[in-house]
Amino acid sequence: MRAARMHAFNQPLVLEDVPIPEIEPNEVLIRVGAAGMCRTDVQLIDGYFRPYVESIFPLTLGHEIAGEIHKIGSLVPKSAGFEEGDQVVVVGGWGDETCRHCHEGNTQICPHGKWPGFGPYGGYAEYVPVPVQYLIKIDKRYKLKAEELAPLTDAGLTPYRGIKKLRDAGALGPDRVLAVFGVGGLGTYAIQYAKLLGGGATVVAFGRNAEKLEAAKELSADHVIDIKGKSLDDIRKELVRATGKGEIDAVIDCAGAEEMIKLGFGLLSVGAHYSSVGLVGDRINIPLFPFVAREYTYHGSFWGNYNDLSEVVALVEQGKVRHTVKPIRFEEINDTLDLCGPVMLSAAPWSNTNPQVIPSGDKPLELSPVAGVPSDR
């Protein structure tokens, strides 16, 4: 099979032929239909994760995976409900299934877990082995394509979990202002989830790109504020004009740039909540006294679990979430990664569409009117 593999940091992926993986008795072999291209892929190549994750080369990238079941392991029970040919998406965080986080269902934060796309197997290949418990079956009645499904497993999943944390903490509701920072891939999903889960909160999108902010309006943001080149006071005045308030009660930060975090904390109301899902930067620098005295709550939120992804898939099947993808050929992987831009720039050139790697090399380049969007992380 063909695979795009990483043999060293800061080097292009090697497009090469490798053996089709064997599967363990409790695994399923997935024929990859599409794999989302995420900022995380660029960061992995650039060494962003080196202080935190050990990389044993070669790696096969691609952690946003959708496809069909090709082969089922001998110990997969019939009660799992899977058959060869079933359309599925892959839950990305695989736990050891023994720690308390796994027992609570949060396998993506298992301290001893692993992730597809960060090891020998990933979605930038024709086949990938997956433990059966990390598959979600797609109802074929909805006729969703693999390239429409793949970005849901991260770009569409990550902000959903982040906003659920805000909701469950009591930060959302009527007469509250919910800010969405960063209107790229994650942000375009976040705006829609904010309207679905916000309990009547006023949703304000903050960004630097006029075209993306216009897209935010189309996705039902109540207000948009262009922050490019503006001071905190200027932005606060615009917020007052838009909402009648100079502070925000909750933030879903889909960028994660240090300057954006400083801006967000400068606008928070007393008792406000801040949920970070973006990873553009690598540091947080905020004043301690207001953090304590005004009782802010900072939520780290990573990826999502099986139940989170099941809910996202259901929302898409019901037509409640809009998104756009741009399929690319397997041979275009490195060129497209180059277009994703430098990792540490807060204004990196992301579009509102998510590149989707299609393993079939003869797949034409096309723009699909439906599906996911690229991660700001």
**pLDDT at 355 (0 to 100):** 67
Q: How many Cβ atoms sit within 10 Å of the Cβ of residue 330?
A: 20
Residue 97 is given by DSSP the state S
More confident site: 159 or 370: 159
Tokens representing residue 7 in the block: 């043999």
Tens of pLDDT, residues 10-46: 999 999 999 999 999 999 999 999 999 999 999 999 9
Is the Cβ–Cβ distance between 36 and 148 less than 8 Å?
no
Tens of pLDDT, residues 330-369: 999 999 998 875 433 222 222 345 667 766 443 332 222 2
Confidence bin at 115 (pLDDT 50/70/90): very high
Tens of pLDDT, residues 123-179: 999 999 999 999 999 999 999 999 999 999 999 999 999 999 999 999 999 999 999
Tokens representing residue 282 in the block: 């690598």
Q: Which of 219-233, 249-263, 319-333 has the lowest mean pLDDT?
A: 319-333
CA atoms of 68 and 9, how far apart (whole Å): 31
Check whether 271 has a pLDDT greater than 80. yes
pTM: 0.91
Q: Which of 190-194, 278-282, 310-314 has the lowest mean pLDDT?
A: 278-282
Q: Which of 57-66, 124-133, 324-333 has the lowest mean pLDDT?
A: 324-333
Is the Cβ–Cβ distance between 215 and 241 less than 8 Å?
no
Query: In this prediction, what percent of the chain has a pLDDT beyond 90?
Result: 86
Q: Which residues contact 305 (CB under 8 A, 6 or more apart)?
A: 91, 93, 105, 106, 107, 108, 161
Q: Which of 16-20, 82-86, 105-109, 182-186 has the lowest mean pLDDT?
A: 182-186
**pLDDT at 53 (0 to 100):** 87
Confidence bin at 247 (pLDDT 50/70/90): very high
The upper half-sphere exposure of residue 317, i.e. CA atoms within 13 Å in the direction of its Cβ, equals 13
**pLDDT at 352 (0 to 100):** 43
Is the Cβ–Cβ distance between 91 and 153 less than 8 Å?
yes
**pLDDT at 359 (0 to 100):** 65
Is the Cβ–Cβ distance between 352 and 184 less than 8 Å?
yes
DSSP H or E run through 294: none
**pLDDT at 33 (0 to 100):** 97
Mean pLDDT along residues 252-278: 97
**What does pLDDT average to over the chain?**
91
CA atoms of 91 and 153, how far apart (whole Å): 6
Tokens representing residue 140 in the block: 């074929």
Residue with tokens 């909805």: 142
| Cross-strand pairs, 205 | 180, 224
CA atoms of 19 and 205, how far apart (whole Å): 46
